[in-house]
């Protein structure tokens, strides 16, 4: 998924050598019981402010008590955020699904942090499971999916 307006590369296809090194971190986690919709909005609002300062962009999906976040930017700043996320008691059971540095364009150049509605968070997690290679990640994703199985899913539209 790419955010449409002003996607970098509208004019000329950039040459790979022009692209900055970009670090990305993708994870899912379980929200604390106290986290409701309004709290997620507050998380996103604060993240937008902080991410603008740190050159970070990405998306946050929240559904059925599960977070799924893609965040990209300079390696040092992403690593700082990862440390803060691990200290944040509004979620737990953080499962890192993907993290690496590549020379590429941003996937979400215009979103300092965009909340994306998950019509069905299960589809997002199944997709991550399909792409997961690490056996610990596979086990953790299966555990989360099992946990979701005992809860009503979000309505489909």
Give the up-direction half-sphere exposure of residue 2: CA atoms within 13 A in the CB hemisphere: 11
3-class DSSP assignment, residue 146: helix
> The tokens 């200290």 sit on which residue?
87
Q: Does 47 bind ligand FMN (CB under 6 A)?
A: yes
Rule CB under 6 A: say whether 137 interacts with ligand FMN. no
Q: How far is the CB of 47 from ligand FMN (least distance, A)?
A: 3
Task: Tell me if 50 contacts ligand FMN by CB under 6 A.
Answer: yes
Is residue 94 part of the contact set for ligand FMN (CB under 6 A)?
A: no
Collapsing DSSP to helix, strand or coil, 28 comes out as: strand
Rounded to a whole number of angstroms, the distance between the first and last alpha carbons of the chain is 19
Q: Which residues bind ligand FMN (CB under 6 A)?
A: 43, 47, 50-51, 60, 67, 69, 71, 81, 84-85, 88, 90-91, 113
């Amino acid at each position: 998924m790419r955010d449409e307006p002003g996607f970098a590369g509208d004019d000329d296809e950039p040459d790979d050598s022009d692209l900055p090194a970009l670090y990305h971190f993708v994870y899912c986690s379980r929200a604390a019981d106290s986290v409701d919709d309004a709290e997620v909005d507050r998380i996103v609002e604060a993240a937008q402010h902080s991410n603008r300062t740190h050159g970070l962009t990405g998306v946050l999906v929240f559904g059925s008590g599960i977070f799924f976040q893609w965040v990209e930017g300079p390696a040092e700043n992403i690593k700082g955020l990862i440390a803060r996320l691990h200290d944040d008691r509004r979620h737990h059971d953080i499962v890192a699904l993907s993290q690496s540095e590549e020379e590429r364009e941003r996937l979400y150049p215009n979103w300092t942090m965009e909340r994306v509605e998950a019509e069905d968070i299960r589809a997002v997690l199944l997709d991550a499971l399909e792409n997961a290679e690490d056996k610990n990640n596979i086990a953790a994703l299966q555990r989360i999916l099992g946990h979701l199985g005992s809860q009503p899913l979000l309505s489909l539209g």
